[in-house]
Structure 1
Amino acid sequence: MTDASKPTQRRLEQAILSLLDQRVGRSICPSDAARAVYDGDDEGWRDLMDSARRAAARLAAAGEVEIAQRGHTVDPDDARGPVRIRRPQ
């Protein structure tokens, strides 16, 4: 799998922020952003999952979001398995 293009990466970042604005006080899954950006009608959004996690990591580094596992903030580089994305608490 290749990395998503820069425009797709930017769209993923925008989707993450937009979804969080719509779900005030709640978290989202990287798959929510991948589904929002994917243009097809099948399971192709799964190909964007790694890119969505990287987009979330960039936003976390900028202080715009936090990456969480089991309710605790984690370093995106150390996170293994399912994560949630939320606004900083």
Structure 2
Amino acid sequence: MPTDTAIAAEITRQTAARAPKTICPSEVARALAEDWRPLMPRVRAVAGTMPEVVATQRGDPVDPVTARGAIRLAWKPRPDPSA
């Protein structure tokens, strides 16, 4: 099983690469394990600890741990320092 650090690194890699589009947490789990389904709760839990990642459901921010159903993960846009 991958470590939380490895999960966080994969979440960062995928969300940053796809920004501003979102990813499904299952994409992270599939990249880290052949038997990926048991990894899903950990992927969601790790995503919930990452301040640079936002979880959404139907476009609204949600807690990835407590949200029921499908969620998406996105890289949070950094504030524009010139604004």
Moved over 6 A (4+): none
When normalised by structure 1's length, the TM-score is 0.76
Q: Deviations over 1:17-75 (max 9, x none)?
A: 0001221211111101101111x3xxx1111111111111111xxx2111100011113
**Root-mean-square deviation (Å):** 1.6
SS of the residue corresponding to residue 54 of structure 1 reads: helix
Give yes or no for the alignment of 1:57 onto 2:44: no
Q: Structure 2 regions of 5+ residues with no counterpart? A: 78-83
The corresponding residue for 1:26 is: 21
Count matched residues.
77
Q: Is the 8 A contact 2:41 2:65 kept in 1?
A: no
Point out the structure with the larger helix share: 1
Give yes or no for the alignment of 1:76 onto 2:76: no
When normalised by structure 2's length, the TM-score is 0.81
The corresponding residue for 2:7 is: 12
**Offset, 1:77:** 4.3
Q: Structure 1 regions of 5+ residues with no counterpart? A: none
